[in-house]
Structure formats: C-alpha cells, structure tokens
Amino acid sequence: MFAPAARTLLTTSLRSSANSANSLNRIYGSTRTVVTVKTIKYTATAKAQGAGRNGTVKSGNLDLKMASPKELGGDGKGENPEQLLAMGYSACFLGAVQLLAKKQGKEEMAKSAQVLANVSLGDSAEKPGFGLTVDIQVSGIDEALAQAAHEFCPFSRALTQGAVVNVSVSK
C-alpha cells in the first residue's frame, strides 16, 4: 500500500533571474522566483510532429505514437503527455529517494521503495484551458525521506518552485 506523500505543486512565490522576471510578471501578474540552472549537465530532446496529442513524439531511441485517452474523446490507442510526465516524474523522484537515502544512511530502506505518480488533466479553476494536478505516493520509506526527496527532485522543484522556460519560433 502506498503512503501518500502528495503535495500541492503550484506556488506563486517563485525565484526568478532578472531576465525572466518581467516575462513572468506579464504572464502571472506577480513576481515569481524560479529555480535556475547554473551548469547544464544533461539535455534531453524530444520532437513532436503530426496532430499533437494524436501525432508522434520521438526522443533518442524512443518513438511513440500519441493518442488522446478515451476520457478526452480519443481512441486511447497510444501514449499521452500525462503518461509521459507521470513516468518521468516517478523515475526522477525514486532517483532522489535513493540518492538521499544513501546520504542519510537509509539505503536499505530505499531498496524496495516504489513511487506512484498520478498526473491528472482537467479544466483549470483559475484560467481558461486545462490544468494539471500531480499526486506522488511513495511506499517503503519514511515521511522524512519522502519530504527530503520532494524538496530535492528536479521535477518537484520545477512544479513547486518554477523553472525557466524559453519559447522561441524557428524559421
């Protein structure tokens, strides 16, 4: 059984670099502080083509057919962005659990840990369009390690403290 370690993953008090603060203020209507990256250690690249949720997405050797889930009116015969986020988040969070367990002398505890990530898509209560909720459930560890992993995991940080997102149009 999974013990809930879910946290509300939206915040309005995010840290920002001077360059992105004005853009974020225009978007969010307030000053946000964003977690910034000082040194890039790895970059994953994915390319989506076709009909968005019903197109294709490729990253390295992973090439997926995308399909809207039946709950959203699709045929469900493919993957969807929420599944990919849930997969990435659960793996990243488990990595954070294991790394911190090693540092805290709790390696044995973390060996059998499991992370279940539920990513839900629905109508936004605040703005037109959709919003996400994320529930993380961790089994096999204590609450202190779960909270430490949540504070350390880059996916958790991006969703709770923000991330720099640069959008551009190529020609």
Q: What is the pLDDT of residues 17-41, one digit of tens each?
A: 334 444 544 544 556 678 899 999 9
CA distance 81 to 123: 16
CA distance 146 to 59: 30
Q: Is CATH 3.30.300.20 what the domain over 80-161 is classified as, yes or no?
A: yes
The answer to whether 138 and 97 have CB atoms below 8 angstroms apart is yes
Q: Are strands 62-65 and 114-123 parallel, antiparallel or unpaired?
A: unpaired
Q: Which pLDDT score, from 0 to 100, does residue 150 have?
A: 97
Q: Which residues of the chain have pLDDT under 50?
A: 1-22, 24-25, 27-28
Nearest to 161 by CA among 26, 6, 35, 19: 35
What residue ranges of the chain are covered by domains with CATH 3.30.300.20?
A: 80-161
Q: Which pLDDT score, from 0 to 100, does residue 76 have?
A: 95
Q: Which pLDDT score, from 0 to 100, does residue 59 have?
A: 97
**Residue whose entry in the numeric block shows the structure tokens 């961790």:** 138
